[in-house]
Amino acid sequence: MIRRTLREWEYLPVSASAGEDGVTRDQADRLLAAARGTSLGGADGERILVDGGRRLRAQQVVGILVADGVILEILPKIDAETATTRANLVHMLSAVYDLEIVAGPSTDLGWQSQDLLDILIRLFCDKLAAVLRRGLPRAYLRREGDLGALRGRLDVIRQCTVLAASPQRLACRYEDLDPDIALNRVLKATLTHLVGLARASETRRRLGELLFVYDEVAITARAALPWNEIVLDRTNASWREVLDFARLLLGNRFQTTSAGTARGFALLFEMNTLFEEFVGRSVRRALAGSGALVSLQGPRRHALVDLTRQTPVFATRPDIVVTRDDRPVAILDTKWKRLTGEIDDRRRGVGQGDIYQMMAYAQVYGCRDLMLVYPHHAGLPAPAGRLADFGIVDRDGARLTLLSLDLTALSTVRDQLRNALMRTACPAAAE
């Protein structure tokens, strides 16, 4: 099994010998087949990989793509070393999926030598092992059985019919404290699935040890997992995070694909969506306790009214809306793309359609402070933060800001956003 790592938009050479950095044509075809088999790949898989003949090009999707004999890891295009980028991607996922992961490049998780999938599996094992120290969850389940001694209540009807000629057997109905419950079935299915994906021997060993704990739990097909039967309350609330982690690893983004004789697996994330959700949750944390309300993907308002039917049409839905006293005071839209310097392009690479969209938000929401949020990179001449402010014509006092976030140290993102928004969202605190 060979492993290759790319950043977004980078190329993977395809040749007869593969070499140290590339793949063979057969391996490339298997990766392309795995990409086509995922929902994120589109009909031809080109939202993940584009086949250029002598090379494959990664697109704006990150994560892991596994095909027979080859693992392709695609990382975000962030100005950082590979190990730091892996760690930052894991932290972005933990923020979006509400997973408490305290781990940085210095933590012994193999950021440099392990790929993203093995790191996530090891983190899942750590989380599961920690909660299992309190014991395997069990619940009283109703049972029926023909036993040699009475247990629970006697099933009189069955005793007098089916067992009428076998008085030495008693038809019993009873409750048994059993680990074979919905929560444990989901977690065992997760462990079973991950065993086939882990590469590192230490990771496989840990999965095997955890599976041994679930020996009394039935094996359930992934499609038949009883998600809706899981009930979390104050007695088992500590399992919520592990369950969320399992949902990430077994959810819609984690796909088993098959195409012909090739088999593959994918754990993939569309970076535009991941960046939007990460920034939105970071804004919410940055403004916590300030009195401002942060709404993600809403509230929805319409840009036009059909005068014939008197019905609203053309709904708008900003990525992030900050409201104070029931009035929108800031609207943010995130864009996972690289800006250019002002010398190279007076517009700094900002799309004209994005400007029109923000102007529409200013009109529809009556908001005076709007921001387009981008990832910062070393090619920009200015440090991360407010790169430029523009006044909106005929909108007295309305302003559009280009904001870049330094993602090489995610622990600082909350402060970066707080500094950018405090003047607008919390004017009293900014004075």
Tell me the C-alpha distance between 40 and 269, whole Å.
Answer: 8
How far the first Cα of the chain sits from its last, in Å, is: 59
Tell me the C-alpha distance between 367 and 323, whole Å.
Answer: 10
Q: Please, are residues 387 and 373 in contact by the beta-carbon 8 Å criterion?
A: no
**Which residues are bridge partners to 390 per DSSP?**
400
**DSSP designation for 14:** B
Tell me the C-alpha distance between 170 and 145, whole Å.
Answer: 8
4 vs 30, 64, 281, 319, 354, CA distance in Å? 14, 10, 32, 34, 35
The number of beta carbons lying within 10 Å of the beta carbon of residue 72 is: 29
Sign of CA dihedral 85, 91, 92, 97: positive
> What are the DSSP calls for 249-307, one per residue?
HHSTTEEEEEETTEEEEEEEEEHHHHHHHHHHHHHHHHTTTTT-EEEES---EEEEEET
**Element counts in the chain: helices (H) and strands (E):** 11, 19
Tell me the C-alpha distance between 416 and 429, whole Å.
Answer: 16
For residue 332, give the nearest of 425, 270, 411, 429 by alpha carbon: 425
Question: pLDDT 10s per residue in the chain (431 long)?
Answer: 888 999 999 999 999 888 888 999 999 999 999 898 888 888 788 999 999 999 999 999 999 998 888 999 999 998 878 888 888 999 999 888 888 765 444 445 556 667 888 889 999 999 999 999 999 999 888 888 999 998 889 999 999 989 998 989 999 998 888 899 999 999 999 999 999 888 888 999 999 999 999 999 999 998 889 999 998 888 888 999 999 899 888 864 434 443 333 456 788 999 999 999 999 999 999 999 888 999 998 778 999 999 999 999 999 999 999 999 999 999 999 999 988 876 666 777 898 999 999 999 999 999 999 999 999 988 888 889 999 899 988 777 889 999 999 998 888 999 999 999 987 776 655 55
* The pLDDT of residue 258: 36
For residue 14, give the nearest of 32, 1, 38 by alpha carbon: 32
Domain ranges of the chain: 2-134+183-271, 139-178, 287-430
For residue 302, give the nearest of 323, 317, 320 by alpha carbon: 317
For residue 319, give the nearest of 288, 350, 376, 365 by alpha carbon: 365
205-214: Cβ within 8 A, 24+ apart: 206/122, 206/125, 206/129, 207/121, 207/125, 210/125, 210/128, 210/129, 210/132, 213/132, 213/136, 214/136, 214/179, 214/184, 214/187, 214/188
Tell me the C-alpha distance between 410 and 19, whole Å.
Answer: 35
What SS3 state is found at 145?
A: strand
Any idea how long the chain is?
Answer: 431
For residue 3, give the nearest of 278, 225, 200 by alpha carbon: 200
Cis peptide before 299 (omega within 30 of 0): yes
Amino acid at 260: G
What is the pTM (predicted TM-score) of this model? 0.83
Tell me the C-alpha distance between 95 and 78, whole Å.
Answer: 17
Angle between helical axes of 182-195 and 201-213 (0-180°, round to 10): 150
